[in-house]
Amino acid sequence: MTDMQHKPNGWNLPINQMTEEEWKDYFECRKKYDIKLSDEEIKKIIKIAMHFIDTDHDKYMEESLKIPVPPNLAISYKAFNGLKAMKKFNLSLAKETYPDEF
């Protein structure tokens, strides 16, 4: 669940501490970035991102972050880096597998 009344599991751990304003921003990011994509859409994003890999790191990262993070990678990243560090990731797949974690 992704609203202020239902913060994700582990919200109160030191690594996930955020102010109420930061939580608001986090949940706005969930609405903005967690987009379910088809395989074709993902392939298209990868092709665009690879075009920028050697020429424009920022554009490469912008495109790459649109790709849904695999669930097991997302849960591991959360454990080591915290929710705030992954607020701009596409967690659509991870939320399907771990609905209470993001």
CA-to-CA distance for 66 and 45, rounded, in angstroms? 7
pLDDT tens digit string along 44-72? 999 999 999 999 999 999 999 999 999 99
The pLDDT value recorded for residue 3 is 55
The pLDDT value recorded for residue 58 is 97
The pTM score is 0.89
Across all residues in the chain, what is the average pLDDT? 95
39-52 and 57-64 helices, crossing angle to 10°: 170
The pLDDT value recorded for residue 17 is 96
